[in-house]
Amino acid sequence: MSNQLRIASYNIHKGFSHFNQRMVIHDLRERLRALNSDIVFLQEVQGSHLGHEQRWKHWPVAPQYEFLADEVWTDFAYGKNAVYDDGHHGNAILSRYPIVRWENLDISAHAFESRGLLHAVIAVPDIEHEVHAFCVHLALFERSRKQQLAMLRRRVLEAVPQEAPLIIAGDFNDWRGHAGREFARDLGLVEVFVAMHGKPARSFPARMPLLSLDRIYVRGWQVHHAEVKHGIDDWHRSDHAVLLATVGVL
């Protein structure tokens, strides 16, 4: 049914294993394909890195978001956030359906930690209204996260019609959950794992998840399924586990 979406959120750690021991971007591509998701929200995506190109023999020629999308996700959007001498990285959204427009907003709370908010609008067959999708990776410190959540809240209120289906996913770094609960309440959002299991998913560290850093918030959807994808063969791909959910439009 095209009025249902299978969505995934994944911090891919720039395509390197835990502690940066080896490049795993090719393995990540196969992992993402196996998830069979319609929309994928990715954080820490390497847009370019000259040093890695020179060091790693099989470093992809295309930017990571294009390499991962390949022939599976026909549309993608990339938000460049952190820029340095060798390259840049940020958030990305991969979609099986047309991304009709997108924008990346700077929500950095200070000069030492570059963060962005990637907002894409997606046309999904059999869904009356355009789907609004936000991919985020928030700051490490609570004060900065609160500022960024306030900017995200303002963007939703200004740019997303109340009747439009809404998905906000990514690495919130909100392991205590206080700011997230207030943010969700103010916007009428539901966190998919709270809806299905009564509590957020533990997603970090991937090998033995203890902390709830990653979230998928929705509005205008019914949550049908939510799971954390991690196991003995998954932890080496990233320091985060994958969040996977199936939602149907109300």
Q: Write down all domains in the chain, each with its CATH number in brackets.
A: 4-249 (3.60.10.10)
Separation between Cα atoms, residue 18 and residue 32, nearest integer Å: 18
pLDDT for 203: 92
Which tokens belong to 165?
Answer: 């289906």
SS3 132: strand
Separation between Cα atoms, residue 167 and residue 156, nearest integer Å: 11
Separation between Cα atoms, residue 74 and residue 100, nearest integer Å: 12
Residue type, 45: V
Separation between Cα atoms, residue 214 and residue 53, nearest integer Å: 29
pLDDT for 154: 96
pLDDT for 205: 87
CB 80 within 8 A of CB 118: no
pLDDT for 238: 80
DSSP class of residue 44?
E
Residue type, 122: I
pLDDT for 51: 65
pTM: 0.93
| CA neighbor of 93 nearest in space, from 48, 136, 135, 145 | 135
pLDDT for 231: 60
pLDDT tens readout for residues 208-250 = 889 999 999 999 999 999 999 876 555 456 888 999 999 999 9
CB 246 within 8 A of CB 225: yes
- Please report, in tens digits, the pLDDT of each residue of the chain (250 residues total): 568 999 999 999 887 766 566 778 888 899 899 999 999 999 999 887 776 666 667 878 889 999 999 989 999 999 999 888 888 889 999 999 999 999 999 999 887 788 999 999 999 999 999 999 999 999 998 899 999 999 999 999 999 999 999 999 999 999 888 778 888 999 999 999 999 999 999 999 888 889 999 999 999 999 999 999 876 555 456 888 999 999 999 9
Residue 222 Cα distances to 28, 121, 122, 125, 238, angstroms = 29, 19, 18, 17, 29
Separation between Cα atoms, residue 98 and residue 189, nearest integer Å: 24
